[in-house]
Structures are given as structure tokens and as C-alpha cells.
Chain A
Amino acid sequence: MDKNRKVHQFKNPVLNWIEFRLPIISYFKKEYGDYPMPKNCNYFWSFGALATITLVTMIVSGIFLAMNYTPHTDMAFDSVERIMRDVNYGWLMRYIHSNGAAFFFIIVYIHIVRAMYFGSYKYPRELNWILGVFIFLLMMATSFLGYTLPWGQMSYWGATVITNLFSAIPFIGEGLKTWLLGDYNVGNATLNRFFALHYVLPFVIFGVVGLHVAAVHVHGSNNPDGIDIKTNNDSVNFFPYMLIKDTVAMCAFGVAISAVIFFGPNLMAEVDNYIPADPLVTPAHIVPNWYLAPFYAILRAVPDKLGGVLLMFGAIVILFVLPWLDRSKVRSCNYRPIYKWFMMGFFVNFFALGYVGMLPAEGLYLLIARVGLLYYFGFFFIITPFVGWIEKPSKLPLSISDVYAKNITPNIGGGEKGIPSPAMQKDTNL
């Protein structure tokens, strides 16, 4: 043990006693008290905090739901109805949990849009982005597993369709599917293990979120101008400034989610899921949860089983390598006059894919899905590397404080092609 370790001194002797044995007080002070946030961060930067709060809400409401839920094919549907009708405030727990899942995805999608538009995935935050995509994958898996639990028609057939995706894999597919299900079709073994996994995965997510936050705290948050903090003038302390700002965002979020929970709790639910699962009758139209619909649209846009499955998973996996596809050193799209529009096009396209993913795969909808699929992959493989190469970024401000200096006007198309502004040179030690 290092005898020269400098122990932080606080006024409170209890804190000192703890700090000497476990330096957790100074850790929190450093990471959540004095932690410098770029002072130009807008409300987009509150969605990480919102996502964390939502995760905790989901875990808490889920634990209380589990106290009254029965994971058995004969009883699952009825136990959920019992939660709705007989358990005290059971309806509230369930509506918080089901709508919380939808809002979790809304928040995380906005968080991802933020990271993409302002280039938060770039050096030196690549690993942070990878951890984020990993969280996103875990979230999709967890929400799919959870959707099976009420054992309604959509639960059953959604589970059937998704697990059948694995049967598309050559040679091992059928065996893998049977192993995942524990039966030859979705049955009691499946429901039991889905419940077990749905319970444990959120804690895994919680762990990865810990790494995600720790990673962002190493180099600090990105900001709308995508330039680094240089002096104390560029930043504000997390406490109290950002905490208050996040609290305001949280209040707004609370109003929005309460409006849905109390006045439209089934807005985002499928009517068919209030019919008990029937293995002999498929609903006329299987609809995924809206937050998975863009990927479902990609699956259906391909007229080949294996091809569709590969592209659907590929659409998520491609996100992992985005930091290396984008060659531009300029982070924020605010300073990228060409890429900015392609980026917005990507968001619109993703939304359109989601829309057609909820509709039958035929005629115009199928055409839109196919065009959307082309743009989705074209954006990553062609547009992103190519635009980074030909684009002339606008002149970056010298520092974050500079952004607020009145005499600086955005100089569109200013900077020399290929030569980063002085600010960027200092940032990245080019």
C-alpha cells in the first residue's frame, strides 16, 4: 500500500472516515461534482442522463411486476390480466413498464442521433460509441424477450418469427433455433428462459452503462461545435449547472411520459396482444414494436430469407465501425456543409423505414422499404467515406468561448480543404 497516498480531507469526519478506507467520496466529487462540461452543450446532452433514469425506472417497475407474474404458458396471460385488475396499482406498474420501454427507445434514438450528428463517435470516443451500440443491441434483445412475456398473440408470433430468423443460418440454423427455444416451437420452455433472461439482461445493461459513462468521463463530453475544452473558460462544472439542466429535461420528460401512461397507455400497444396466444392461428398482420420496425422493414425488403436476416443484423453491426468509415476530422455536422444534409437524410430515411416496417410488405410500401434499405447501407459504405474525402469543412471556432464572441460569424466553406483549423490541430495532435 502506498503510504504517500494523498487522502482528500472533508469537513465532515464521517466522510473522512469513509474516504480513508474507500475513496468513493472524492470519486463522486470528481466525476459528478467538479466534472467539467463544455458550456455550449444544449439539451441534446441531457438524453444520456434521461436514459439512465429510465433504465432504473424499468428495473424497479420490472422487479415489482415479476412479484406477480407467472412464467407458464397456461398462466402467463391471466397473471398479467390479474396484475391489471386485482393487484394494487398493478396497472400503473405495467403501464410504466410497457410505455417506459417505448420511451427508453425514444430517448436512446435521440441520444444516438445526437452522437451521429455532432460526431461524438469520433476520436477519442470510439470505444464509447462501441459500448453504446452494444447497449443498444442488449436493449433490443431485452425488449424482445419482455414482449414475449404477456403471452398474447403478438407475443407468441413475434417470438416465433424472430427465433425463426436463426433457422436461416445454413447447416446449424435449425439446431440453433431448437436450442434457443428448448422445444421445436415456442413453448413453455421458451417462456421460462425468456423470463429468466429478461430479468437478468437489464443488470448487464446497467453494467455496460457504467463502462459507457466511465469512458465518456475520460475525455469529457463532446459538444455542438465538436471542439475540445481548452481553458476553464470553455466549461462549467457538472454540479450545479448540468445537474440543474438535466433536472429541467427530466421534468419535461416526466410530463411527456405521464401524459401517455395516464391518458393513452395503449397508444403504442398492439390490440392483438390482448388475445391469448394461440399456436394454431397466426394474426393476419404481425407488427413489431415500432422501435424495432426499421430493422423489420429491412428484413422484409429482401426477397430471400438468409439475405434478409443478414442485412437486418448487418444494419446494426455496421454501426460498430462507423468511427472508421467516417474519415473527416471535423466532428460536428454544423461545420460540415455537405455531410450535414446526408446525415439528416439518414434520420428521415430511418424514420420512413420504421413507418413502412409497421405496414404490410407489398406494393409502394415494399418499394419504399427497398429504397430505404439502399440509402441506409449507401450512407455508411459510400456517402460517409466519400463525403469525408471531398468535403470542405467550414471554419471551426478557435475555442468554445469563441463561439460566444460576437465578432465571429460562421464562415461557410471557409477552411482550406484537408487542412484542419488551428483548433482541430491542437485537439487531436495531428
Chain B
Amino acid sequence: MAKKPKNKRRDFLQLSTVTLGAVGTAAFIWPFLKSMSPAEDTLAAGSTEVDISAIEEGQSITIKWRGKPVFIKKRTKDEIDAAKMVQASDLRDPQDDADRVQKEEWLVLVGVCTHLGCVPLGQKVSDMKGEYDGWYCPCHGSHYDTSGRIRKGPAPKNLDVPPYTFLNDNTIKIG
């Protein structure tokens, strides 16, 4: 239906007013939404250096990095072999052990279950380590192997490997 030119002008004015109002409102809301994102000082939460000389074979320590627990484990020969034996293609989140470590005896993981964020057990000798002798999350029953890969339970992904570098044989810098 053709409209009179007069109506067209009114439509244009109405549409442009609404559009401008919507854009303006969105622009006004944005700083408020953005203020809820992590602040600059939170983002700047830097790196942590860890002395690993005291860790014995088979032992594991937990340190805090950016508010999260990080597991540093010196693996035994058996544990390394167990991790290497697995076919990556059989896994839920396929990854070779070699892609998860820099030096094969040192395994560094973010100790946060990829399901709903609990800290898995397995750091202490007395802890339950799950069916694959790695870590076991008590919250909803996820089992991780000696490479921190998800093997059983609801978690969708392997335990994260944080960015880290060996400063020397006895010191790791995480972050």
C-alpha cells in the first residue's frame, strides 16, 4: 500500500528517533556491563615462581596461582608409562601425554575440575586418586589419569595445563 509522502516523512522521523534512542541506550548500558568484567588489577595478577627442588619422585605440591590451585607433580616411571600407553584417540578430550608436559617427569596442572570447578583429590598420599590413579573429583565423580586427562565421569575436558617455563632445573615460573 503506497503511503502519502507526508506519512513517509513521519515514518522516517519515528524510525530514526527509535533507532537513535536504542543506540544511545545501548551505549549507555555498555560501561555498566563492562564494569562487571575482571578489573585491570585482577588481570595483572602476575606470575608465580616455585622452587621444586624439594619435591621427591611421586610427590605432588599445590600452590596458588591467580587464586586457583596449581598441582606440580614429579611423576614416577610407572606413572609416566601409564600416561604414555594410552591411545589419545580413545579419550574424551584427545591429547597425548607429550603435549601436556615439557619435561616428562614434571606434570603441571590447574587443579580445577573442568566439570563444575571443584578441586580434585589426589595430592596427598592418603587421598582417593580415582580409577586411573591420577585425581578424583569428589563433587560429581570425575576420574583423571596420571596425565590429568579426563577418563570417567561428567567433566568434559582434561585438567588445564597453565603456561609455565623452567627458569632452571629447580625453579618453575607459572604464568
Which residues of A does B touch, CB under 8 Å?
157, 160-161, 163-165, 167, 178-185, 187, 189, 193, 279-282, 284-286, 300, 302-306, 308, 361-362
Whether B42 lies near A164 (C-beta < 8 A) is: no
In the complex, given contacts A180-B36, A187-B42, what are 15 additional A-B residue pairs having Cβ atoms less than 8 angstroms apart? A161-B116, A161-B139, A164-B115, A182-B36, A182-B42, A184-B67, A184-B68, A185-B67, A185-B112, A189-B38, A282-B118, A282-B120, A303-B154, A305-B154, A305-B156
Nearest-neighbor residue (CB-CB) of B153 within chain A: A303
Write out the residue numbers on chain B whose beta carbons fall within 8 Å of the beta carbon of A183: 38, 42, 67
Which residues of B does A touch, CB under 8 Å?
33, 36-39, 42, 62, 64, 66-69, 111-112, 115-120, 137-141, 154-156
The CA-CA distance from A181 to B42 in the complex, in Å, is: 11
Write out the residue numbers on chain A whose beta carbons fall within 8 Å of the beta carbon of B156: 304-306
Write out the residue numbers on chain B whose beta carbons fall within 8 Å of the beta carbon of A165: 116
Cβ contact of B37, chosen from A182, A285, A300, cutoff 8 A: A182
Whether A280 lies near B64 (C-beta < 8 A) is: yes
The CA-CA distance from A348 to B33 in the complex, in Å, is: 42
Whether A286 lies near B139 (C-beta < 8 A) is: yes
The CA-CA distance from A193 to B116 in the complex, in Å, is: 21
The CA-CA distance from A50 to B51 in the complex, in Å, is: 60
Write out the residue numbers on chain A whose beta carbons fall within 8 Å of the beta carbon of B137: 282
Whether B141 lies near A305 (C-beta < 8 A) is: no
Nearest-neighbor residue (CB-CB) of A180 within chain B: B36
Nearest-neighbor residue (CB-CB) of A286 within chain B: B139
The minimal Cβ–Cβ distance linking A229 to chain B, given in whole angstroms, is 45
Write out the residue numbers on chain A whose beta carbons fall within 8 Å of the beta carbon of B117: 160-161, 163-164, 167, 185
Write out the residue numbers on chain A whose beta carbons fall within 8 Å of the beta carbon of B139: 157, 161, 282, 285-286
Write out the residue numbers on chain B whose beta carbons fall within 8 Å of the beta carbon of A302: 154
Whether B37 lies near A178 (C-beta < 8 A) is: yes
The CA-CA distance from A304 to B92 in the complex, in Å, is: 12
Nearest-neighbor residue (CB-CB) of B70 within chain A: A280
The minimal Cβ–Cβ distance linking B106 to chain A, given in whole angstroms, is 20
Nearest-neighbor residue (CB-CB) of A159 within chain B: B117
Whether B154 lies near A281 (C-beta < 8 A) is: no
